[in-house]
């Protein structure tokens, strides 16, 4: 019978859950639009190489979490585990680099095979933005400000904390990489098998390890901030100054990192303590080396992604279902006229509930069940006069209204 249940790590979004999801996604979309970000959608699956190249052969996502399969044409494809790689691929394959800078917003499902837990699923949803073609600190400032505005509109920002760090420029990372390898080599035998492999191929990835033993070793590792070039320090100072000017509070977390080589300069996370251990609701950073890694021209980029499920969990306001206008016909003639009236009202953007059967008592019960705000009652007498009885269900007030005036009378009920 397992085939009749949702696959582990997935769930159905029934109307109440869907309202919360839609509210999160629409809030993110509107906030991003205010900053000039236009919505795009990339395919839910890509050639596997898109993600292997960008996420790294030693990352947990690539080695353990990707949904990869061979299609009927023999191509190896992967359900997207994140969306930045798809946007970067589109930038190259669609020839968009000549139109830089570009501001993109996205929202949709992602897929990772991982242990399901609070706010984390195998099919989950993200919203995010990507700013491509801007190398100045102002890009980082705007991207962070967009995320803060999104959370502010959700009513969650006052319960969130922005953590900020710098990874430095290429020279900074090269200098830091050298001392990091020296430090980690002294603990090689105590590192996890995965981290021992990463130490050879991509030592910065060890900093992202989720192994508890690795984390204890990394906790005492040298800090990247000690190896910043003057240019990298100035860049980070400019980002902080911009956030200060906007009144966006933050804390510096020097252990906040991104292990892949194409990340640089600013990285950030926004957390909400309401969520417990898995408290990150939004995270991002600068990835100036990503597009060139994928075979495109050198193109600076910075962006963030936010988990819709987690953001839905921190919503405090109720999101009740929209309240319809119920049409209650009595008799065959009224049934026919009700069908026309419902169509006329819907064309004017009213939410209308028209039952399919039942006497007046059953239809009024239906109106109460769907929390209708008003009932339009039609019988032979009303039709003969060219009227309908309009009853406001909250107050019980009722009056007869000419059929031609229904839309104007019901306008406050939208």
Distance CA 113, CA 123 (A): 8
Q: How confident is the model at residue 117 (pLDDT cuts 50, 70, 90)?
A: low
- Strand, helix or coil at 307? strand
d(C-alpha 190, C-alpha 181), whole Å:
14
pLDDT at residue 125 is higher than 90: yes
- CB 201, CB 63: distance < 8 Å: no
DSSP state of 117: B
Do 2-169+229-314 and 325-413 share a fold? no
Average pLDDT, the chain: 92
Q: How far apart are CA 295 and CA 354, in angstroms?
A: 57
pLDDT at 255: 85
The per-residue pLDDT for 202 is: 79
> How do the domains of the chain map onto residue ranges?
2-169+229-314, 325-413
The least confident of 93-102, 176-185, 193-202, 246-255 is 193-202
260, 205 contact by CB (below 8 A)? yes
Among 354, 355, 394, 358, which Cα is nearest to 374's? Answer: 394
pLDDT for res 413: 87
Residue 237: the pLDDT is: 98
> Is residue 59 over pLDDT 70?
no
Q: Binding site membership: which residues?
A: 82-84, 112, 126, 130, 258, 262-263
- The closest alpha carbon to 363, from 333, 323, 324, 328, belongs to 328
The domain 325-413 having CATH identifier 3.40.50.800: the answer here is yes
pLDDT score recorded for residue 4: 84
Closest by Cα among 229, 306, 235, 224 to 258:
224
Mean pLDDT over 277-299 rounds to: 93
Query: Measured between alpha carbons, how far is 304 from 105 in angstroms, rounded to an integer?
Result: 10
Per the listing, tokens 């509930």 go with 353
Residue 58 has pLDDT above 70, yes or no: no
- How many C-beta atoms lie closer than 10 Å to residue 154's C-beta? 22
The predicted structure's pLDDT at residue 199: 86
What pLDDT does 261 receive? 74
Q: What is the pLDDT of residues 88-97, one digit of tens each?
A: 999 999 999 9
Provide the pLDDT for residue 119: 56
Q: Which residue's entry shows tokens 């910065």?
A: 204
The binding site for L-histidine consists of 82-84, 112, 126, 130, 258, 262-263
Q: 400, 374, 375: which is closest to 385 by C-alpha?
A: 400
Q: SS3 for 376?
A: strand
**Per-residue pLDDT at 205:** 80
**Which has the minimum average pLDDT: 37-46, 178-187, 250-259, 367-376?**
250-259
* DSSP strand pairing (68-70 vs 45-47): unpaired
Residue 367, burial from CB neighbour count under 10 angstroms (0-12, 13-18, 19+): buried
Residues 357-396 have pLDDT tens digits of: 989 999 999 999 999 999 999 999 999 999 999 999 999 9
pTM: 0.91
Q: For 207-223, what is the mean pLDDT? A: 88
- 229 vs 206, higher pLDDT: 229
Q: Is the model's pLDDT at 1 over the cut of 60?
A: no
CA distance 395 to 210: 58
pLDDT at 14 over 60: yes
Q: How many Cβ atoms are within 10 Å of 98's Cβ, its own excluded?
A: 6
What is the CB neighbour count within 10 angstroms for residue 77?
A: 19
CATH number of 2-169+229-314: 3.30.930.10
For residue 282, give every residue at least 6 positions away whose Cβ sits within 8 Å of its Cβ, in sequence order, or none: 147, 150, 151, 269, 270, 304, 305, 306, 307, 311
pLDDT at 82: 94
């Amino acid at each position: 019978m397992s085939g009749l249940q949702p696959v582990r790590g997935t769930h159905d979004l029934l109307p109440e859950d869907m309202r919360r999801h839609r509210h999160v996604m629409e809030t993110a979309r509107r906030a991003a639009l205010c900053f000039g970000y236009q919505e795009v959608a990339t395919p839910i699956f890509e050639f596997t190489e898109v993600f292997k190249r960008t996420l790294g052969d030693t990352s947990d996502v690539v080695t353990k979490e990707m949904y990869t399969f061979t299609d009927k044409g023999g191509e190896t494809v992967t359900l997207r585990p994140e969306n930045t790689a798809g946007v970067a691929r589109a930038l190259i394959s669609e020839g968009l680099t000549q139109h830089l800078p570009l501001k993109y917003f996205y929202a949709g499902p992602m897929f990772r095979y991982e242990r399901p837990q609070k706010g984390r699923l195998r099919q989950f949803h993200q919203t995010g933005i990507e700013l491509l073609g801007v190398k100045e600190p102002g890009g980082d400032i705007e991207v962070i400000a967009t995320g803060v505005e999104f959370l502010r509109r959700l009513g969650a920002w006052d319960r969130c904390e922005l953590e900020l760090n710098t990874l430095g420029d290429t020279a900074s990372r090269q200098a830091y990489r050298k001392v990091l390898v020296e430090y980690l080599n002294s603990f090689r035998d105590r590192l996890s098998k995965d981290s021992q492999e990463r130490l050879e191929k991509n030592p910065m990835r060890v900093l992202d390890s989720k192994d508890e033993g690795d984390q204890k070793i990394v906790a005492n590792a040298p800090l990247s901030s000690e190896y910043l070039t003057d240019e990298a320090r100035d860049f980070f100072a400019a980002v902080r100054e911009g956030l200060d000017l906007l009144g966006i509070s933050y804390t510096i977390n020097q252990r906040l990192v991104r292990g892949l080589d194409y990340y640089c300069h600013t990285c950030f996370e926004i957390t909400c303590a309401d969520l417990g251990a898995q408290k990150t609701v939004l995270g991002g950073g600068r990835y100036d080396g990503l597009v060139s890694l994928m075979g495109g021209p050198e193109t600076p980029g910075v962006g963030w992604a936010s988990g819709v499920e987690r953001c839905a969990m921190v919503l405090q306001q109720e999101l009740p279902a929209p309240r319809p206008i119920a049409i209650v016909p009595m008799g065959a003639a009224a049934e026919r006229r009700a069908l026309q009236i419902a169509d006329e009202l819907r064309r004017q953007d009213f939410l209308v509930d028209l039952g399919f059967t039942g006497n007046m008592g059953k239809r009024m019960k239906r109106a109460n069940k769907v929390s209708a705000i008003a009932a339009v009652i039609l019988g032979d007498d009303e039709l003969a006069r060219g009227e309908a009885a309009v009853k406001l269900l909250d107050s019980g007030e009722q009056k007869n209204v000419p059929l031609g005036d229904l839309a104007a009378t019901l306008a406050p009920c939208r």
